[in-house]
Structure 1
Amino acid sequence: MRSRIIQSPLLHSLLKPLPTTPSIHLRAFATTKPRPAKNRVFDPVRSPAEFQTLLLLHTTRSAPLLTLWTASWCRTCAEIEPLIRSLIELEHYGLEQGGVGYVPIELDSPTIGDVGTTYSIKSMPTLLAFSRGEPQWDTRVTDPKMLEDRDFLIKWIEEEARRGGKGGAGGGLFGGLFGR
């Protein structure tokens, strides 16, 4: 007896090779235009790990990180913080010069540790910029009258944004010959 092969249309369609389309992979190359920098405003920092993360993020972005060192009991801090936030987030000061990051740091948070001591914060409020991960001591602002002056703050934000990721902490070995 001979066996018969029954050809089913369903079985026949399953055995056909499936048509394939080549997959297309898109990748950004070095010649891709960089996205424009944006101002970034962050929630208050309450731990050293949060601060280090933001510092590293802005170091890799080559953007300055502006910090306002505050405490919950500081009335002046509570008045200044919304002004600085508004200038950066809503009015976009510093954006045209390259963008900035801004974060308040709550020194009376139970988990903040000795971050304030590390950066020699002796009074509140203190406005301190970080460029390439280094504190910019020469432009630190601690005078409450200056911190309440809108025009001064605009100029300060734009200067720090203009500095960008350039410039260390007020000079260096060989007068800044290397790293420019």
Structure 2
Amino acid sequence: MNQLIISAATEGAAEANPLVPNVWEMGVVLVGFAVLMYIVVKFVVPMFEKTFAERAEAIEGGIAKAEAAQAEASAALEEYKQQLTDARAEANRIREEARAEGAQILADLKAKAAAESARITEQAHAAIESERQAAVVSLRSEVGTLATTLAGRIVGEALTDDQRAARVVDRFLADLETQSAGAAK
């Protein structure tokens, strides 16, 4: 096939072959192509490379920012979890302190109630003893008066002397106490 093209080119120098290009046309096309390549290499390619570099840098920066944000979010989550754990521990501690304080207050109130009860009981015993003593004194005087009156009737003389009457009453009461003590044994 090459043979045909070469033979056609040599034979028909006078006649133009449409398959073989003209040398001047090829030269102009080659020079135009070289100028176009120079412009593309000198101006267009650096602009594309600059744009690609900026995009790559922006993408890598975005990825780095996203990774940093994710790391920050993870750290914040861990901090939140730690704070939540600390808050729960603090709440448990406060709850236990409140229970202990409540138990202490309850124990104090029980102790105060027991002390108050003992004090009231002691006052009641003292009041009862005081009333008993008052009743004994009152009964002694009534018994003394009755004994003096009865003794005066039995003896046949009036016991108007207070000292004598007091001695008679005391002796009578002492005899009664010894008799009641002897009967109790």
TM-score by length of 1: 0.19
Higher relative contact order (CA 8 A, sep 6+): 1
Structure with greater proportional strand content: 1
Structure with greater proportional helix content: 2
TM-score by length of 2: 0.19
- Higher alpha-carbon Rg: 2
